[in-house]
Amino acid sequence: MRGDFFMELVRTKGLSSSELKWIALVLMVLDHIHYMFAYTGLIPEWFSMAGRLSAPLFLFCLAEGFAHTHDRRKYFIKVYLIHLLMSGLLFLMMTGLVPVRPDGFYPMNGMMTSFSILMVVFQGMDWLGEKRWGPGLAAVILPLAWPVLASMLMGMVPALQMPLSVLGYTFLPMWNSNPDAGIGTILTGILLYGFRKNRRVQAGVFAGFTVLYYFLYPLLVFSRSPEFHWTMMFTTAYEWYGALAALLMLCYNGERGRGPKRFFYVFYPAHVYILYALSRAAYPLLAGG
């Protein structure tokens, strides 16, 4: 029945980019509700399990949006400004300059950081396709190498640790600055953009990489622990559930669809901090509930 549903979507009108974003948004909110209120013990784990599909869908829409937008500079600036706001605030929370929840928890959400990095890499990939080797290689390699270079500089000159950290969380974002901007996310985005011209191959490569990176590799690592049981890959280490997003990617009809243009840019930071504020306010009442 489920397979028939997806085949019918593909056969008829499919799903537009806006519709995929709405699906991703709902799943993201479920995930973040669990993320913010897990301490209560009241939010079911499946909220985050379902939420594993959210980031891949947003990455897919980013790749499509970047490839088809008429103004890449404007697109980048909107994303980059949100990154500056959220990543800068994250740095202030990490350094204790902004008060956090009594248990020390603060949101590590940084989707716009990964988007900012990926948009530079996407542009570099296009330049390479046009045989503009200098700017293409620089745009692809430098954002990926920046965290490594910064780490080396910090090791050689300890006095640079704070200024380079500030740069990494603000004007020159690092892909290792938060979980949403990890190397797995960056590689996923690169694969989705690189294979976007063949939808089936794109979905297959994405699903294969996700299973390899988030299931097989962790399985090899975790299986060395005597406390590990294979069922943990379905109950605890379930990041690989995101591979199911490939089914929705195959339903994409190539259309932008209708929807408020600025809503997603406003909603993302707004819902993160509203949920965090609520979790912080409720902590004295619900902690250990």
pLDDT in tens, 170-228: 999 999 999 999 999 999 999 999 999 999 999 999 999 999 999 999 999 999 999 99
Nearest C-alpha neighbor of 247 from the set 193, 218, 185, 204: 204
Q: What is the pLDDT of residues 19-77, one digit of tens each?
A: 999 999 999 999 999 999 999 999 999 999 999 999 999 999 999 999 999 999 999 99
pTM of the predicted structure, to 2 decimals: 0.94
Nearest C-alpha neighbor of 182 from the set 151, 208, 152, 214: 214
What average pLDDT score do residues 90-119 get?
96
Asked if 59 contacts 188 with a C-beta cutoff of 8 angstroms, the reply is: yes
Say how far apart CA 165 and CA 160 lie, in whole Å.
8
